[in-house]
Amino acid sequence: MIELILQPQLFFQTSALEPIAQGDFSFWSLFLRADWVVKSVMILLVAASIWSWVVAINKGVMFFLLRRKATAFEDTFWSGRTLDELSKALGSDTRDPMSRVFAAAMREYNESRASGVATGKSDIATHERIDSVMNLIVNRELAKCERGMPVLATVASASVFVGLFGTVWGIMNAFRAIAASQNTNLSVVAPGIAEALFATALGLIAAIPALVFYNMFTADLDKYGGRIEGYADELSAILSRKLSKGA
């Protein structure tokens, strides 16, 4: 008893070992028994995992809607109507990236043709301005699609190392417990080892789904980027033909 009073650290470690002696190794008990450093690591990893899942669900819904809207717009675009008819029908309803690319291109086309008649500007300059405007819109829309991707990349790459830090700290606690109690019994070593393994598991739980989601959405972004860039090229060719005909 005197030894416990003189060494408060030993008192807290001995008190913390009491549930272990009863075989309580539940996740919640491991968390409560951990010191503040390991607890901070666990909380950080759980928060990172939840954050990555929120981002992943948001990105999944976003790409699903983008693909559906792109298909609907392409069906309308290739329905046989003229560009002027499509522009009037579209109006201000530009809720998807493809329609915004189309609206920006047609606005620049109409404005350039109107000013070109009065000033004698060449069709080549008009075509270059249309391409520049479309490229600007495409890049802006793809940048919007990339939002949240750095979160997944960061969680996927950093969570393992954060969990490893918790692992090292938990093992250090195990060695400190051995040194304080002068006992190598499993009941002394088990708490720190269990905390270390739990921190490692949380790091993997956070990192693996984030890595899978990041790779999946990167592929989706590349496919959608190719799709919208291909549409911009097709629209550019159509407008170029209209310019050469003087339409």
Q: Which residues contact 56 (CB under 8 A, 6 or more apart)?
A: 152, 209, 210, 213, 217
pTM: 0.76
* CA 225 – CA 135 distance, rounded (Å): 12
Chain-wide mean pLDDT for the chain? 79
Are 108 and 129 a contacting pair, CB within 8 Å?
Answer: yes
Point out the least confidently predicted range of 27-36, 139-148, 173-182, 208-217: 27-36
Task: Give the per-residue pLDDT at 9.
Answer: 44
pLDDT tens figures, 86-110: 888 776 667 788 889 998 888 888 8
Are 224 and 96 a contacting pair, CB within 8 Å?
Answer: no
pLDDT tens figures, 133-161: 999 999 999 999 999 999 999 999 999 89
- Among positive and negative, which fits the CA dihedral 148, 153, 154, 156? positive
pLDDT at 32 exceeding the cut of 90: no
- Amino acid, single-letter form, for residue 82: T
Comparing CA positions, the residue from 136, 85, 75 lying closest to residue 106 is 85
At residue 52 the predicted structure's pLDDT band, cuts being 50, 70 and 90, is very high
Tell me which of 122 and 53 has the higher pLDDT: 53
Average pLDDT (216-238) is 92
- Amino acid, single-letter form, for residue 144: K
Task: Give the per-residue pLDDT at 166.
Answer: 83
